[in-house]
């Protein structure tokens, strides 16, 4: 029984001891455990955010225990910083100065970091040396003035310079390395002189800007005064232009009024001339009508048969009467058909119009039928036309006699009968009488000489007569 109790106590003691060896890795750390020939990482994240398949629990057996003994390295997963203060550097011209550098890193590959260092302090020392080397090398290739004016640019250069070296240590930069400050070293006044130079440049620029602003203000005032003067001149010009326009409009109105007066005078003169012209035309028409009246009087004297006119009038009256009767019949028919509608009324009007148009034709047909059956009436119409022809010939002869320069000596007191005898000269019988008279005249020496004067170079009586007749024909034609 005692032996069993001792065994139980030993088991309990061993279990308690094992519990003391149990290690749970915090969330912000990673433990790299070396057991024999194996290296195992315990923690939440091992590399680039990957979950650790080994978990975060292990037993920390003493390293003197064979096979079970372990050694381990603890590395933080949180961000850690490295700060360089009063780090002395040189620029391209070997001018000394001090800088302050601040950088932030984190472990990215815990296994690689653990293979390089034993603890975080050693890791920080290594990274600090890497940063110092990058800062010194980059600063040595730049001018101090550029470094002071472009801090952010050099911070990015620092970060790019150390990126590949940090990978070898399993570390990455959280953000760009910052160049916090640049100042003179203990026995140097370079930066102070640069600052004084910058201050003087700033003061110069400020004074220059003030002078330029004052200049612009003066120019603006001058331009404003010029603008005001220009506006005044433009206003005066506008007033002058308005006055000129008014004067021009007045002149144009006056000229237009004068032109209107002249135009009215011209129109009045033209109207007066038209009145005179109308009066002249009216007088000419009166004269023409008088001549026509005279001709009608002559025609009335020559027309013997007034009954023809009377019958013609009767025929016209009968035709008009027939037209009136037809129209009355059409009107009666139209009145009777009005009740039948607008269409019947239109037909009646068309029929009436047709009858009115055919009435003169029917009258002419009736007249032609009467004339064809009445030989006496036909002779009457023929005689009427002969009388018209004789009247027209008489009128034309009267006109020609009025133009001809003929003197009539008559021994009779009856002038009309003498005129009728003169006109007989131009008849065929009158021509034969003249020819016989000339033949008788040519039989005597005195008559022959007269005929030769009328017909030059007359050698025979027959030729003389022919030439004389030709000359008489010419005289008749002219008359």
Q: What's the mean pLDDT in 182-189? A: 78
Instruction: Give me the pLDDT at residue 397, please.
Output: 63
**Alpha carbon 185 to chain centroid distance?**
78
Question: Would the pTM count as exceeding 0.85?
Answer: no
365 vs 38, more confident? 38
Instruction: Give me the pLDDT at residue 268, please.
Output: 83
C-alpha distances out from residue 401 to 36, 241, 291, 294, 300, Å: 175, 81, 16, 16, 20
Give the separation between CA 416 and CA 347, rounded to whole angstroms: 64
Of all residues in the chain, what percent carry a pLDDT higher than 70?
72
User: Please, which residues have CB within 8 angstroms of residue 91's CB and are 6 or more apart in sequence?
Assistant: 97, 139, 140, 142, 143, 144, 147
Q: What's the mean pLDDT in 344-361? A: 70
- Band of the pLDDT at 104, cuts 50, 70, 90? very high
Bridge-based pairing of strands 71-76 and 29-35 is antiparallel
Q: What radius of gyration do the chain's Cα atoms show?
A: 77
Instruction: Give me the pLDDT at residue 102, please.
Output: 92
Query: Is residue 212 over pLDDT 80?
Result: yes
Instruction: Give me the pLDDT at residue 207, please.
Output: 79
Query: Is residue 232 over pLDDT 80?
Result: yes
99 in Cβ contact with 181 (< 8 Å): yes
Element of type H or E holding 182: strand 178-183
Instruction: Give residue-wise pLDDT tens across range 130-149.
Output: 999 999 999 899 888 888 87
Query: Is residue 243 over pLDDT 80?
Result: yes
- Among 193-207, 248-262, 272-286, 435-449, which stretch is predicted with the lowest mean pLDDT? 435-449
Query: Is residue 404 over pLDDT 60?
Result: no
> Can you tell me whether residue 85 is helix, strand or coil?
strand
């Amino acid at each position: 029984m005692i032996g069993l109790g001792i065994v139980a106590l030993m088991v309990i003691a061993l279990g308690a001891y094992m519990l003391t060896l149990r290690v749970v890795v915090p969330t912000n750390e990673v433990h790299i455990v070396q057991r024999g020939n194996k290296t195992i990482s315990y923690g939440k994240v091992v590399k680039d955010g990957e979950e650790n398949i080994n978990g975060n629990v292990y037993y920390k057996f003493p390293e003197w225990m064979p096979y079970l003994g372990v050694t381990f390295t603890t590395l933080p997963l949180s961000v850690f910083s490295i700060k360089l203060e009063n780090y002395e550097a040189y620029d391209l011209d070997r001018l000394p100065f001090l800088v302050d550098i601040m950088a932030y890193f984190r472990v990215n590959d815990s296994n690689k970091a653990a293979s390089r260092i034993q603890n975080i302090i050693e890791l920080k020392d290594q990274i600090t040396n890497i940063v110092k080397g990058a800062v010194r090398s980059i600063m040595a290739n730049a001018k101090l003035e550029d470094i002071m004016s472009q801090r952010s640019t050099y911070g990015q250069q620092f970060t790019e310079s150390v990126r590949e070296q940090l990978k070898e240590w399993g570390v990455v930069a959280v953000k760009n390395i910052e160049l916090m400050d640049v100042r003179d070293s203990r026995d140097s006044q370079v930066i102070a002189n640069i600052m004084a130079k910058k201050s003087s440049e700033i003061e110069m620029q400020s004074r220059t800007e003030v002078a330029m602003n004052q200049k612009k203000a003066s120019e603006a005032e001058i331009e404003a005064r010029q603008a005001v003067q220009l506006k005044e001149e433009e206003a005066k010009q506008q007033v002058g232009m308005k006055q000129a326009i008014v004067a021009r409009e007045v002149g144009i109105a006056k000229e237009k009024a004068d032109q209107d007066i002249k135009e009215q005078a011209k129109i009045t003169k033209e109207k007066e001339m038209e009145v005179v012209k109308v009066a002249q035309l009216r007088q000419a028409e009166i004269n023409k009508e008088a001549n026509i009246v005279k001709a009608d009087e002559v025609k009335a004297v020559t027309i013997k048969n007034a009954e023809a006119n009377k019958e013609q009038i009767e025929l016209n009256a009968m035709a008009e009467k027939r037209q009136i009767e037809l129209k009355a019949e059409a009107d009666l028919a139209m009145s009777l058909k009005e009740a039948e509608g607008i269409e019947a009324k239109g037909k009646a009007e068309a029929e009436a119009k047709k009858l009115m148009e055919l009435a003169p034709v029917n009258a002419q047909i009736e007249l032609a039928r009467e004339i064809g059956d009445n030989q006496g009436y036909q002779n009457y119409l023929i005689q009427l036309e002969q009388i018209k022809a004789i009247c027209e010939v008489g009128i034309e002869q009267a006109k020609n006699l009025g133009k001809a320069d003929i003197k009539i000596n008559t021994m009779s007191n009856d002038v009309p009968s003498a005129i009728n005898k003169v006109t007989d000269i131009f008849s065929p019988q009158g021509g034969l009488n003249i020819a016989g008279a000339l033949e008788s005249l040519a039989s005597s020496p005195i008559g022959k000489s007269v005929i030769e004067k009328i017909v030059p170079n007359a050698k025979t009586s027959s030729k003389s007569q022919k030439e004389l007749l030709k000359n008489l024909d010419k005289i008749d034609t002219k008359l």
